Amino acid sequence: MTIPFVDLGAQYESIKHEIDEAIRGVLESRCFILGPQLDEFERTFASYCGAQHCIGVASGTDALHLMLRGLGIGPGDEVIVPAFTFVATALGVSLAGATPVLVDVRREDALIDPEKIPAAITDRTKAILPVHLYGRCADMDRIHQIAADAGLLVLEDAAQAHGAKYKGKRAGSLGHAAAFSFYPGKNLGAYGDGGAITTDNDELAERIRLLRNWGSRKKYYHEEVGLNSRLDTLQAAVLSTKLNYLDEWNKRRRQHAMMYDQLLADKHEFVRPRESTGTEPVYHLYVVRCAKRDEVVRSLQETGIQAGIHYPFPLHRLGAYQHLIRPGAHFPEADSWAAECLSLPMYPELTQSQIEYVVYQATHAFERLNG
Ligand SMILES: Cc1ncc(COP(=O)(O)O)c(C=O)c1O
């Protein structure tokens, strides 16, 4: 049996008619840039997240960058980010001209460890930027407490967390502003690159709208040095169609995660992150820890199962960020997540027998390795 890591073809087949109609609507209207379908998506996604505003941009990386620039965070400023995340979290900070400052993650769930944040705060720190990694919300209450004590903003990297909940509220409404990615494989994915910022702050929303459109509100009047970073109307039409299915897809992801959890419950070689009380993760990825990760990934691949590693290197091991690492700084939990994390196939259309087969092959791979 061949099992892909994600199956975007199966998702397209399930809603083909609606997607084709939505795309045809844009082609016929010929409003490819800042068209009405973008306004509609921004309205519905803001409301879905429980935020006042949504501003569509060209990618999740641009969303992070523009969110920070919109807030006036730039050269000389520091932003606290987890040491274990996709590189774009830190790139967004760097692109704004500010400096990412790394904080280690928790052993139990790979999320930024709030207790390690205070030691990283300096008089240049402007914001804390937790990542809702794998679709699981960070410990926002504790992070807000620390931020309030130090007078900092709390921002969200919600690129992997469309629809995830923390104490009843959705990602995208848990801080001052949030950045989303609509990269095709995300829980809410476009057919190309896309991203968005959500916020309740009217002024920030207005400023980001300006920055994404060459710093211009009115044609040929450029008030600021902006970017060309708008979410395409075509992608917005696709995203509006898919948004109607997001809750159902997330529900299925949660069911699949529960089944993986049950089947792996007595397989102590695979350590599962725990769900914190009051949170509802959306399992963008289903990740376990395994001491023989590389061998298990190889063995699964040989049996036709695509497994992944998210991520093989923490930020402090990347060439791009060597210059930021202070002598003696170490991030042991980020290192051990990078060494042991193993992502098993996860997408809404997975079947029970596929999940059983993945678990069977993974546990057999481990037994074979132990001779
Ligand atoms: C945690 C995280 N932040 C930011 C990004 C960047 O998003 P994009 O690929 O749309 O630029 C991604 C996804 O790729 C991500 O997983």
Per-residue pLDDT of the chain (371 residues; tens, 9 = 90+): 899 999 999 999 999 999 999 999 999 999 999 999 999 999 999 999 999 999 999 999 999 999 999 999 999 999 999 999 999 999 999 999 999 999 999 999 999 999 999 999 999 999 999 999 999 999 999 999 999 999 999 999 999 999 999 999 999 999 999 999 999 999 999 999 999 999 999 999 999 999 999 999 999 999 999 999 999 999 999 999 999 999 999 999 999 999 999 999 999 999 998 888 899 999 999 999 999 999 999 999 999 999 999 999 999 999 999 998 888 889 999 999 999 999 999 999 999 999 999 999 999 988 887 77
Residue 58 in 3-state DSSP? coil
How, if at all, do strands 177-181 and 195-199 pair?
A: antiparallel
CA 8 / ligand 1 centre spacing (Å): 18
Atom of ligand 1 nearest to the CA of 92: 4
CA 266 / ligand 1 centre spacing (Å): 33
212-235 residues labelled b (16+ CB within 10 A) or e (exposed): bbbebeeeeeeeeebbebbbbbbb
Nearest-CA residue for atom 7 of ligand 1: 60
Residue 103 in 3-state DSSP? strand
Atom of ligand 1 nearest to the CA of 59: 10
CA 158 / ligand 1 centre spacing (Å): 9
CA 159 / ligand 1 centre spacing (Å): 5
**pLDDT at position 121, please?**
98
Mutate which of 6, 183, 186, 232 for ligand 1? The one with the most ligand atoms within 8 Å of its CB, which is 183
CA 252 / ligand 1 centre spacing (Å): 22
- DSSP string over 217-233: EETTEE-S---B-PPPH
Q: CA-to-CA distance for 106 and 83, rounded, in angstroms?
A: 11
Atom of ligand 1 nearest to the CA of 132: 1
Q: Which domains, and CATH codes, for the chain?
A: 8-243 (3.40.640.10), 246-369 (3.90.1150.10)
**pLDDT at position 252, please?**
98
CA 186 / ligand 1 centre spacing (Å): 9
Atom of ligand 1 nearest to the CA of 88: 4
CA 179 / ligand 1 centre spacing (Å): 9
Q: CA-to-CA distance for 217 and 220, rounded, in angstroms?
A: 9
The DSSP letter of residue 313 is S
Mutate which of 57, 59, 61, 136 for ligand 1? The one with the most ligand atoms within 8 Å of its CB, which is 61
Q: What amino acid occupies position 199?
A: T
Q: Are 164 and 157 in contact (CB under 8 A)?
A: no
CA 263 / ligand 1 centre spacing (Å): 30
Nearest-CA residue for atom 8 of ligand 1: 60
The backbone region for 190, taken as left when phi is positive above 0, alpha when psi lies in -120 to 50, beta otherwise, is: beta
Strand partners, 128: 80, 154
Nearest-CA residue for atom 12 of ligand 1: 159
**pLDDT at position 370, please?**
76
CA 157 / ligand 1 centre spacing (Å): 8
Q: Is 189 exposed, middle or buried (0-12, 13-18, 19+ CB in 10 A)?
A: buried
Q: CA-to-CA distance for 67 and 96, rounded, in angstroms?
A: 9
Residues with CB under 6 Å of ligand 1 are 59-61, 85-86, 88-89, 131, 157, 159-160, 181, 183, 193, 195
Q: Is 320 exposed, middle or buried (0-12, 13-18, 19+ CB in 10 A)?
A: exposed
Q: State the virtual CA torsion across 69, 75, 80, 81 in degrees, nearest 10.
A: 70
Helix (H) or strand (E) holding 91: helix 88-95
Atom of ligand 1 nearest to the CA of 62: 11
Atom of ligand 1 nearest to the CA of 131: 1
Q: CA-to-CA distance for 352 and 255, rounded, in angstroms?
A: 10
From residue 268, how far is each of 8, 303, 305, 342 by CA, in Å?
A: 32, 22, 21, 14
What values do phi and psi take at 304, rounded to 5? 90, 10
- 3-state SS of 164-211? CEECCEECCCCCCEEEEECCCCCCCCCCCCCEEEEECCHHHHHHHHHH
CA 192 / ligand 1 centre spacing (Å): 13
Cα angle: 38, vertex 190, 5; to 5 degrees:
165
Q: What is the pTM of this model?
A: 0.98
